[in-house]
Amino acid sequence: MGFAYTKLALLSVIIFISIFPQTYISHDIESSFLQCFSSGLENSNSTTKVILTQNSSSYTPLLQSSIRNNRFLESSVPKPYLIVIPNDLFQIQKTIICSKKQGLEIRVRSGGHDYEGLSYVSNVPFLMIDLRNLRSITIDIKEENAWVQAGATLGELYYAIANKSNLHGFPAGSCPTVGVGGHFSGGGFGTIFRKYGLATDNIIDAQIIDVNGNILNREMMGEDLFWAIRGGGGSSFGVITAWKVKLVRVPLIVTIFDIPNRLDQNATTLFMKWQIIANKLPSELFLHSVLGIAANSSSDSGKTVTVSFTGLYLGKSDDLLPLMQNNFEELGLQRDNCTEMSWIQSVLYLTGHSINGSLEVLLQRNTTLTSFKAKSDYVTDPIPMSGLEGLWNLILEEDRPTLIMTPYGGRMSEISETETPFPHRNGIIYGIQYLVDWEKNEETPKHVDWIRRLYAYMTPYVSKGPRAAYLNYRDLDLGVNRENTSYEEAKSWGVKYFKSNFERLAQVKDEVDPTNFFRDEQSILPLSRETSLVDKDNA
């Protein structure tokens, strides 16, 4: 009995050590970090609410509260050692300085929508800064601009604008829970971007805390860094704490329509036509197509591909109908299919809320969750009929596939590729987002395999040299930074997101963060990393 007990005890000690080696490291780092953080802070009572250790009862609810992909709720997913929830900029400055001292990496989370969870997942020891408490929004209708703190959501911004004016809006994404911290720094498009450009095209100032803990505005950070954070992603350059944006003028009435078509309703022919006109329509009309599956009405067991055309027109249906008649008669749009509403109601509509309901729903941060994987592409020549046939077959293999085809053109074609790091401008007909979601994480490999096969299939039909991708639809299949990744290696996939802007991003990185403190699995490496590796080899 005694012997058995001792052996068991010994065994559990060994198991404990081998399973939890990080726990020991983390306690050291934790206490040193806490000591560093609270030194000079007289109100150390607030530290307990600002910093959550893994022991804290609020740690798990807080971590999970803005995880948007169930894949990353699994217990095996690595978690931050500490969570910092700053109430002011000073606490961010302290966090940067103390993390550097302890050799802890940091990850910054605004809305938590990163497709690969990079704002809260990493295999290295790290601390997460969650900006939820820095979310104030100040609207200046007379000057037609706004300061928005990075922890605010798109819904909060849209709500704040609508609260002050029914003639103003902002061109960003459709999902109200997306955070402005990640969304604006990666581009950010929505249903009025053909008229006004990306969210990032409408940023006029910003506030960032750099690697030395300095708080910088546009004038202080200089035009290179200001350029880099408008599309190059925030996570490589510092902690962005606020944006100043230009509001745009929207008409009192906009018109929405939604026309689904199955294959037996000429969906293929309609899609062929759409590919030709989508990016040439007037910029007031956004007409995207969403591919999915539906039950085949003439067969109980069968499924069919559906192509749904959803439009938002900045104007009344009286003007929209002749425009559609002239450009896309085949769709058969009729007055009965159109709903006129205000711009803010269109935001509700596109989120699936009742357009006559309260705007307060835009302030909700909770959403229903599934597991998902997504990828992106850009199309510069219409996909031929032969290509679509194979695509339909692949779509029919999945349970819950969605392909969102977003038309470019309009204002997007007028902005040069180098104006911001976001390079997908003139010449793009449409962007594709491939998406699959599922309920059970045991099924993850099956669905990830499907989306990779789909991506491989699409190779001949999409942009080449490089095969372009959208940063905000982050995809770690494209490449991942490792400790020894060279500039050239990182470039091989970095150009997919940034094309020729990649090199300038690496130069800016070199200027503002040469030791590569701000980093993650897909961050920009300093340009000099190439040189230093070469030097080492030569020595």
Ligand X SMILES: *[C@@H]1O[C@H](CO)[C@@H](O)[C@H](O)[C@H]1NC(C)=O
Ligand Y SMILES: Cc1cc2nc3c(=O)[nH]c(=O)nc-3n(C[C@H](O)[C@H](O)[C@H](O)COP(=O)(O)OP(=O)(O)OC[C@H]3O[C@@H](n4cnc5c(N)ncnc54)[C@H](O)[C@@H]3O)c2cc1C
Candidates 67, 108, 216, 290; binder of ligand Y (CB under 6 A) is: 108
Nearest distance in Å: CB 154, ligand Y? 8
Nearest distance in Å: CB 494, ligand Y? 14
Exposure on the CB side of residue 54, measured as CA atoms within 13 A: 15
Q: Counting contacts by CB under 6 A, is residue 131 touching ligand Y?
A: yes
Which does residue 504 bind out of ligand X, ligand Y, none, counting CB within 5 to 8 angstroms by kind? none
Candidates 30, 114, 210, 521; binder of ligand Y (CB under 6 A) is: 114
Cα three-residue angle 468-68-498, rounded to 5 degrees:
20
Nearest distance in Å: CB 39, ligand Y? 25
Site for ligand X in 135-174 (CB under 6 A): 163
Residue 350 or 428 having the CB closest to ligand X = 350
SS (H, E, C) 378-414: EECCCCCHHHHHHHHHHHHHCCCEEEEEEECCCHHHH
How is residue 35 written in tokens? 């000591």
Q: Counting contacts by CB under 6 A, is residue 441 touching ligand X?
A: no
Nearest distance in Å: CB 200, ligand X? 27
Site for ligand X in 40-99 (CB under 6 A): 42-43, 45-46, 53, 55
Number of residues engaging ligand X in binding (CB under 6 A):
33
Which does residue 178 bind out of ligand X, ligand Y, none, counting CB within 5 to 8 angstroms by kind? ligand Y
Residue 151 has φ and ψ, to the nearest 5°, of -85, 0
Q: Counting contacts by CB under 6 A, is residue 133 touching ligand X?
A: no
Residue 50 or 508 having the CB closest to ligand X = 50
Which does residue 302 bind out of ligand Y, ligand X, none, counting CB within 5 to 8 angstroms by kind? ligand X
CB distance 298 to 262 below 8 Å: no
Torsion angle (degrees, nearest 10) of CA 231, 232, 238, 239: 30
Q: What's the rounded Cα separation, in Å, for the pair 125 and 78?
A: 9
Q: What single-letter amino acid sits at 496?
A: K
Residue of 397, 395, 468 whose CA lies nearest to 431: 468
Which residues, other chains included, contact 149 with Cβ-Cβ below 8 Å and sequence gap of 6+? 131, 134, 135, 136, 137, 241, 242
DSSP 370: -
Which does residue 368 bind out of ligand Y, ligand X, none, counting CB within 5 to 8 angstroms by kind? ligand X
Residue 332 or 387 having the CB closest to ligand X = 332
Buried b / exposed e along 221-246 (16+ C-beta atoms within 10 A): beeebbbbbbbbbbbbbbbbbbbbbb
Buried b / exposed e along 132-161 (16+ C-beta atoms within 10 A): bebbebebeeeeebbbbbbbbbbbbbbbbb
Residue 101 or 482 having the CB closest to ligand X = 482
Please give the residue whose beta carbon sits closest to ligand X in the complex: 43
Active-site pick, 81, 349, 430, 473: 473
Exposed, middle or buried by CB within 10 Å (0-12, 13-18, 19+), for 70? middle
Candidates 109, 132, 496, 529; binder of ligand Y (CB under 6 A) is: 109
* Known active-site residue 473: yes
Residue 367 has φ and ψ, to the nearest 5°, of -140, 165
CA distances from 394 to 362, 389, 434, 491 (A): 36, 9, 12, 31
Any idea which residue has 């030395």 for tokens? Answer: 212
Q: Counting contacts by CB under 6 A, is residue 304 touching ligand X?
A: yes
Sole window of 125-133, 228-236, 333-341, 372-380 interacting with ligand X (rule: CB under 6 A): 333-341
Buried b / exposed e along 326-355 (16+ C-beta atoms within 10 A): ebbeebebeeebbebbbbbbbbbbbbebee
Q: What single-letter amino acid sits at 163?
A: N
Nearest distance in Å: CB 297, ligand Y? 30
Candidates 386, 484, 515, 538; binder of ligand X (CB under 6 A) is: 484
Q: Counting contacts by CB under 6 A, is residue 110 touching ligand Y?
A: yes
Q: What's the rounded Cα separation, in Å, for the pair 455 and 471?
A: 16
Encoded one letter per residue, x for contact with ligand Y by CB under 6 A and - for no contact, window 143-182 reads -------x----------------------xxx--xx-xx
Candidates 367, 416, 492, 532; binder of ligand X (CB under 6 A) is: 367
How is residue 268 written in tokens? 């293929």
Site for ligand X in 230-289 (CB under 6 A): 259, 262-266, 269
Which does residue 373 bind out of ligand X, ligand Y, none, counting CB within 5 to 8 angstroms by kind? none
Q: Which residues bind ligand Y (CB under 6 A)?
A: 68, 107-115, 118-119, 131, 150, 173-175, 178-179, 181-183, 185-190, 234-235, 239-240, 472, 520
Q: Which residues bind ligand X (CB under 6 A)?
A: 27, 30, 42-43, 45-46, 53, 55, 163, 259, 262-266, 269, 296, 298-299, 302, 304, 334, 336-337, 354-356, 364, 366-368, 482, 484
List active site positions.
473
